[in-house]
């Protein structure tokens, strides 16, 4: 195989029920110049056998198995380390890509070579025909002050590998680490908005998202990742950054109270709030 333009990265842990469909969707793509890298995070079910079966008959598929479980985001970085393509395209092993998805995503990045990230525009209304480019400043303004923008998960992204390496990939901020990466990439290069319907995100009980969406640590991670982005990476003015940090803190306190009141532990919520306030003042 010649040097691929695109590296499709599929990380997996105990996804025997879904991974064949995910692989088949990639193989059915109208875009052909890709490698599909599957990195199994030491699954205990039949995931490995299914992935190996495809890798044995398709030259564009490369299969790796971690000797020990790395966890979601460390495994995403591991998959990227194997990539040879100019662009990285994550596709989760329980999601699928539309037949024209890879082609439209690569074409969008090639049309706007200054862009470091392409994302399926799933939040808010797009004012232009797809694809269109957005500056770093406009992306941050829209995300934080106009109803959100870069909330698309990894299956809806295409990333220039050079920029991914420059920002050192995913960092550990729990479940919101994918949003942290998108904003970090957007801080250093323009982003390209691509039509929203190019992938199918599957929601099921086995996802980390459904297991932790009202978890205290998820609320804390969400607060901490935004604080890191605004403090260390934001292209916005000092006054706007201060406003975002103020709003982030307020949302953190409100969400914390909501979760613990729902669990019938209001005094624990107040105790954590008091400790957090002391730590940050």
List the chain domain ranges.
6-202, 211-279
Cα 32 to Cα 249: distance, rounded to the nearest angstrom: 46
* pLDDT, tens digit, 9 for 90 and up, residues 192-230: 999 998 999 877 566 554 444 556 677 888 889 999 999
Q: Is the pLDDT of residue 69 over 60?
A: yes
Summary mean pLDDT of the chain: 90
* pLDDT, tens digit, 9 for 90 and up, residues 151-194: 999 999 999 999 999 999 999 998 889 999 999 999 999 999 99
The pTM of this model reads: 0.88
Choose the weakest-confidence range: 22-31, 52-61, 84-93, 259-268.
Answer: 259-268
- For residue 273, the model assigns a pLDDT of 61
The phi-psi region of residue 2 (left if phi > 0; otherwise alpha if psi is between -120 and 50; otherwise beta) is beta
- For residue 276, the model assigns a pLDDT of 59
- How much is the average pLDDT of 230-253? 94
Share of the chain above pLDDT 70, in %: 87
* Beta-bridge partners for 97: 199
Give ∠ CA 255-138-142 in degrees, rounded to 5: 30
CB atoms within 10 A of CB 126: 15
Phi first, then psi: what are they for 149, rounded to 5°?
A: -155, -55
Find all residues with CB under 8 Å of 134, minimum gap 6, and list them: 142, 149, 190, 191, 192, 193
- For residue 211, the model assigns a pLDDT of 47
Cα 86 to Cα 243: distance, rounded to the nearest angstrom: 37
Q: Is the pLDDT of residue 263 over 70?
A: no
- For residue 257, the model assigns a pLDDT of 73
Cα 8 to Cα 96: distance, rounded to the nearest angstrom: 12
Cα 65 to Cα 14: distance, rounded to the nearest angstrom: 12
What class is the 6-202 domain? Answer: alpha beta
* pLDDT, tens digit, 9 for 90 and up, residues 118-152: 999 998 888 789 999 999 999 999 999 998 999 99
- How much is the average pLDDT of 92-112? 97
Crossing angle for the helix pair 216-232 and 238-262, to the nearest 10 degrees: 180
E-strand stretches of the chain: 6-12, 34-40, 61-65, 87-90, 96-97, 117-120, 132-134, 157-160, 191-194, 199-200
DSSP 8-state assignment for residue 208: H
Share of the chain above pLDDT 90, in %: 74
């Amino acid at each position: 195989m010649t040097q691929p333009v695109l590296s499709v990265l599929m990380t997996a842990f105990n996804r025997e029920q879904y991974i064949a469909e995910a692989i088949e969707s990639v193989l059915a793509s109208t875009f052909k110049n890709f490698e599909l890298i599957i990195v199994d995070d030491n699954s205990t079910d039949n995931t490995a056998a299914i992935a190996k079966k495809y890798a044995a008959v398709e030259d564009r598929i490369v299969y790796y198995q971690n000797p020990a479980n790395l966890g979601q985001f460390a495994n995403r970085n591991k998959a990227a380390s194997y990539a040879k393509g100019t662009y990285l395209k994550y596709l989760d092993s329980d999601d699928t890509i539309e037949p024209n998805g890879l082609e439209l995503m690569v074409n969008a990045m090639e049309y706007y070579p200054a862009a470091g990230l392409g994302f399926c525009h799933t939040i808010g209304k797009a004012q232009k025909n797809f694809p269109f480019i957005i500056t770093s400043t406009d992306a941050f303004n829209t995300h934080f002050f106009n109803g959100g923008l870069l909330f698309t998960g990894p299956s809806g992204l295409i990333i220039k590998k050079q920029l991914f390496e420059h920002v050192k990939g995913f960092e550990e901020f729990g479940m919101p680490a994918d949003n942290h990466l998108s904003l970090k990439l957007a801080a250093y290069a323009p982003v390209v908005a691509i039509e929203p319907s190019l992938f199918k995100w599957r929601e099921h009980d086995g996802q980390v998202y459904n297991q932790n969406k009202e978890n205290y640590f998820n609320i804390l991670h969400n607060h901490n990742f935004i604080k890191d982005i605004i403090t260390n990476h934001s292209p916005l003015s000092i006054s706007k950054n201060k406003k975002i940090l103020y709003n982030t803190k307020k949302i953190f306190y409100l969400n914390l109270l909501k979760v613990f009141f729902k669990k019938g532990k209001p005094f624990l919520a107040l105790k954590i709030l008091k400790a957090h306030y002391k730590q940050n003042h």
